């Protein structure tokens, strides 16, 4: 196998063997602690612009199938792993991991000491890195170039309207890089779903006559999407709204809150989150590098609903008078536990209630 190198902006260099496209790639270096779900992770649009390190020691042992995809393309910039299985064992497998990476034109390194790599990420917190075929001492800004959040979102969001389902409830999904599992949850609840690009004006969404709005997950720094805060605010003040991950952060920012970069984020399938109303702890799937600053949330408008048990970060909030819900974790999971799937039922309950109230107002 051909040797490759992972160069960190902090100076460390890791060697490994090339997988996939074998092309130099730059991105933010992150890690995920999940034991399974590598296919869902690689196709999760929230990973756009990032080099994903798998903590689990063997990746690819059940191959690549046609079902477990969260988008139509591999979204990560590159992947790093300790050991790659080239002889997967699963009846649904149609390709190996390395074959899929090569087909998608995505680079990877295997036989890397991922335990030491994760320790370095935790030490330095935010780390940019580059996979190269030859070691270099180049440290110019162009070498570590970083795509803007707008550019990242454009690469993963739909370019035009897409419609799914024929249900009675009509949900508009404002797309900043949605996961297909979110769409599937709405379709299984017998909703009609219209996916619209993140740049769609409020007035155009009104013409679609939605019963509710879901603001999706996506990549990048939420503060860089300020141009869309007014639309998010108007939508949430007009329709029952659910924000997931980036959508949660955008709702907070649109209503006057603030966000900040986390030391190394939450990425994995076993993050404990406490429901502040019941005291119950739910194990959740998460993938984010930013968080809402608790002290910035306007108390008169929002109340916290969930808190992370490990670091006390904000994991959810709801509006005190309007039907607005948001969660930092992924209730649709994939990969990870589906313990929090009831969030979709809570949202749709608000949608139905608001529509019934509107009908009663018309008849009275």
The residues carrying an active-site annotation are: 245, 330, 332
- Which residue do the tokens 């160069």 mark? 7
Report helix, strand or coil for 3: strand
For residue 135, the 8-state DSSP code is -
Rounded Cα distance between 50 and 29, Å, is 6
Region of residue 41 (phi > 0: left; psi between -120 and 50: alpha; otherwise: beta): alpha
How many residues are listed for the chain in this entry? 364
Contact 39, 64 (CB under 8 A): yes
Residues 6+ apart with CB under 8 A from 47: 30, 41, 75, 76, 219, 287
Of 147, 156, 198, 162, nearest to 177 by C-alpha is: 156
Lookup: tokens for 344: 């979709």
Which DSSP string do the residues of 114-146 spell out, in sequence order? HHHHHHHHHHHSSEEEEEESS------TTTT--
Lookup: tokens for 290: 């930013």
Q: Kind and range of the H or E element at 346?
A: helix 342-363
């Amino acid at each position: 196998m051909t040797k490759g190198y992972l160069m960190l902006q902090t100076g460390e260099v890791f060697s490994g063997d090339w997988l996939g496209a074998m092309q130099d790639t730059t991105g933010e270096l992150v890690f995920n602690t999940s034991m399974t779900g590598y296919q869902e992770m690689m196709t999760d649009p929230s990973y756009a612009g990032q080099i994903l390190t798998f903590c689990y020691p063997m990746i690819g042992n059940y191959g690549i199938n046609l079902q477990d995809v969260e988008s139509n393309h591999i979204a990560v910039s590159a992947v790093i792993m300790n050991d790659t299985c080239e002889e997967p064992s699963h009846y649904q497998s149609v390709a190996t991991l390395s074959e899929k990476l090569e087909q998608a034109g995505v680079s990877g390194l295997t036989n890397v000491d991922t335990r030491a790599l994760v320790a370095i990420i935790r030490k330095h917190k935010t780390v940019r890195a580059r996979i190269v075929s030859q070691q270099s001492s180049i440290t110019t800004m162009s070498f570590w170039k970083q795509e803007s959040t707008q550019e990242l979102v454009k690469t993963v969001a739909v370019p035009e309207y897409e419609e799914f389902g024929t249900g009675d409830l009509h949900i508009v999904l404002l797309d900043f890089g949605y996961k297909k599992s979110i769409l599937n949850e709405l379709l299984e609840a017998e909703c009609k779903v219209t996916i619209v690009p993140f740049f769609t004006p409020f007035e155009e969404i009104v013409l679609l006559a939605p019963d509710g709005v879901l603001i999706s997950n996506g990549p990048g720094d939420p503060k860089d999407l300020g141009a869309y805060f007014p639309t998010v605010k108007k939508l949430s003040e007009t329709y029952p709204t659910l924000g997931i991950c980036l959508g949660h952060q955008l709702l907070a920012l649109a209503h006057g809150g603030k966000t900040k970069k986390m030391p190394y984020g939450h990425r994995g399938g076993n993050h404990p989150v406490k429901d502040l109303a019941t005291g119950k702890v739910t194990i959740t799937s998460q993938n984010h590098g930013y968080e809402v600053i608790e002290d910035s949330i306007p108390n008169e408008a929002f109340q916290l609903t969930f808190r992370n048990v490990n670091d006390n970060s904000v994991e959810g909030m709801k509006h005190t008078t309007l039907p607005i819900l948001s969660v930092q974790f992924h209730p649709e999971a994939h990969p990870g536990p589906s313990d929090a799937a009831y969030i979709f039922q809570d949202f749709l309950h608000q949608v139905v209630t608001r529509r019934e109230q509107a009908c009663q107002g018309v008849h009275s």
